[in-house]
A = this chain, B = another copy of it.
């Protein structure tokens, strides 16, 4: 059987641009994993890892024009967005280089013997070591930042783990280009190119998560695809951690007082957030609680105007476009659902943004309106009009887990008056990131970031963005009564590497 071709497709026309590769056979997946495994010793030195990450950032930035052009041709995300995304990606690689240098992620803990403990404590020294080869499943909607050179890859390499990426079919040419760039960076530091493997094809992705030498996986994508891989990871003879970001509704609650205070600002901000990047963000606000009555009406009016003014856009591929059109149509047909701006097919290859409204009470109980509580990828949101706080609570209690949850409060509520604190406490169990008077799109790369949340937002309690993303690819090991001469330098009393650590119970840095 001939290997299936992998085509780069132009979403603006639906036409095949070029054949980039062929889908990987099981033998090729096995080769990629073995090559990655063989690259582990080359990543053992933290200094080398940090330099490699910085070189990767440098070479990616140097190829900006070429990479952005390639990515735009097969994603239609546009050069402005893609230039920004590549800059973010390089920033992220450098941020992880800094994290590698600092070494706090090693979580060094040293306990000298303590005969007074029950039972007595021997000399114990713990730090974290890399798990092994990491499989990364690239996202459709970020050809750089959540793909071959993205946060999963950067954090895994930072942890000392070689990576095999399963490319997303929406940008295979970009994936190949970027992988080659990272391999050039690796070569600079004497790291074999196997440190970053790249495979194409659905079946190859399944082979990959089942490979005995794959020690962990990171994934960004749909609930359906992510759950299938999660299940495969859990069903292995030796199960492995599967850190998947699968889907999120990202609820927004707008209080009556907030709407009364700044209906226009909120309406405009919401329109911008839900249509940003043609609604193709995992943190797109997909369900918005707006009060019934005058203030809410004003907000909906502004939203109507702003969304009407937003141009139709091209989604990442035509399957997504079909799903979007079918999804919004099915939602709009539900009883009591209205469409102040009808989302759906735009031109032959575009989709028009829009939004739906529904009485919040319709979402409070099992029924056909449950469809509105499922993520619909693309430029659409659902505005649930509520008459009381209880109605909001009733719907919130039915929501699955989310990456983000947002509160729009009045100035007084933000200062502590009224139900602000109560609402914050109500939203916290729902999400991994809670915002006040902001919009969830735009996920900063920062130590305090948490891009994750209760299932299905993520399949684990970890984050895929921000400094702590590195924790996913490590495991602790403790050395007991191990002589100084044999201890890794990270665990020696004299702290020759100057690492932050917990030393005899006390934090030191």
Residues of chain A whose beta carbon lies under 8 Å from any beta carbon of chain B: 84, 87-88, 90-91, 104, 107, 109-111, 114, 117-122, 124-126, 129, 131, 230-231, 234-235, 238-239, 241, 400-401, 414-416, 420-421, 424, 428, 431-438, 442, 444-450, 452, 454-456, 459-461, 463, 467-468, 474-483, 485-486, 500, 502, 505, 507, 509
- Known A459-B239, A509-B507; judge A446-B121 contact (CB<8 A): yes
Q: Within 8 Å CB of A454, what residues of B?
A: 238, 475
Q: Are A87 and B118 in contact (CB under 8 A)?
A: yes
Q: Within 8 Å CB of A461, what residues of B?
A: 131, 241, 474-476
Residue of A88, A114, A235, A479 most packed against chain B (CB within 10 A)? A479
Alpha-carbon distance between A435 and B452 when the two chains are bound, in angstroms? 36
Q: Are B435 and A481 in contact (CB under 8 A)?
A: yes
Q: Within 8 Å CB of A230, what residues of B?
A: 234, 239
Q: Within 8 Å CB of A437, what residues of B?
A: 481
Q: Are B104 and A424 in contact (CB under 8 A)?
A: no
Q: Within 8 Å CB of A460, what residues of B?
A: 241
Alpha-carbon distance between A476 and B486 when the two chains are bound, in angstroms? 36
Alpha-carbon distance between A56 and B167 when the two chains are bound, in angstroms? 53
- Known A230-B239, A452-B476; judge A505-B438 contact (CB<8 A): no
Q: Within 8 Å CB of A129, what residues of B?
A: 428
**Leading 3 A-B pairs by shortest Cβ distance:** A416-B485, A234-B234, A450-B478
Cross-chain contact of A448 among B90, B109, B467, B485 (Cβ < 8 A): B109
Q: Are A478 and B432 in contact (CB under 8 A)?
A: yes
Cross-chain contact of A424 among B87, B122, B468, B482 (Cβ < 8 A): B482
A465: shortest Cβ distance to chain B, in Å?
A: 10
Q: Are B431 and A477 in contact (CB under 8 A)?
A: yes
Alpha-carbon distance between A125 and B436 when the two chains are bound, in angstroms? 12
A220: shortest Cβ distance to chain B, in Å?
A: 17
Alpha-carbon distance between A485 and B450 when the two chains are bound, in angstroms? 21
Q: Within 8 Å CB of A449, what residues of B?
A: 111, 124, 126, 478
- Known A109-B447, A460-B241; judge A434-B121 contact (CB<8 A): no
Q: Within 8 Å CB of A420, what residues of B?
A: 485-486
Q: Are B109 and A91 in contact (CB under 8 A)?
A: no
Q: Within 8 Å CB of A509, what residues of B?
A: 507, 509
Q: Within 8 Å CB of A109, what residues of B?
A: 447-448, 467-468
A-B contact pairs, 24 of them (CB 8 A): A91-B117, A109-B468, A110-B448, A111-B449, A117-B445, A119-B444, A122-B438, A124-B446, A125-B448, A131-B461, A230-B234, A238-B401, A238-B455, A415-B483, A415-B485, A420-B485, A421-B486, A432-B476, A433-B479, A435-B482, A438-B480, A450-B477, A468-B476, A509-B509
- Known A421-B486, A435-B482; judge A88-B118 contact (CB<8 A): yes
- Known A131-B461, A424-B486, A475-B461; judge A446-B114 contact (CB<8 A): yes
Nearest B-chain residue to A460, judged by Cβ? B241
A161: shortest Cβ distance to chain B, in Å?
A: 13
Q: Are B434 and A478 in contact (CB under 8 A)?
A: yes
Q: Within 8 Å CB of A111, what residues of B?
A: 444, 446-449
Q: Are A500 and B505 in contact (CB under 8 A)?
A: no
A176: shortest Cβ distance to chain B, in Å?
A: 25
Nearest B-chain residue to A215, judged by Cβ? B454
Alpha-carbon distance between A476 and B452 when the two chains are bound, in angstroms? 9
Known interface pairs A90-B118, A415-B485, A438-B481; 15 further A-B residue pairs with C-beta atoms within 8 A, sorted by A's residue number? A88-B118, A91-B118, A109-B447, A109-B467, A109-B468, A111-B446, A111-B447, A121-B444, A121-B445, A124-B448, A238-B454, A416-B485, A433-B477, A436-B480, A450-B477
Nearest B-chain residue to A438, judged by Cβ? B481
A319: shortest Cβ distance to chain B, in Å?
A: 26
Q: Are A416 and B234 in contact (CB under 8 A)?
A: no
Alpha-carbon distance between A415 and B241 when the two chains are bound, in angstroms? 37
A111: shortest Cβ distance to chain B, in Å?
A: 4
Q: Within 8 Å CB of A480, what residues of B?
A: 433-436, 438
Residue of A125, A456, A474, A486 most packed against chain B (CB within 10 A)? A486
A151: shortest Cβ distance to chain B, in Å?
A: 13
Q: Within 8 Å CB of A500, what residues of B?
A: 507
Nearest B-chain residue to A483, judged by Cβ? B414
Alpha-carbon distance between A401 and B476 when the two chains are bound, in angstroms? 13
Q: Within 8 Å CB of A126, what residues of B?
A: 447-450
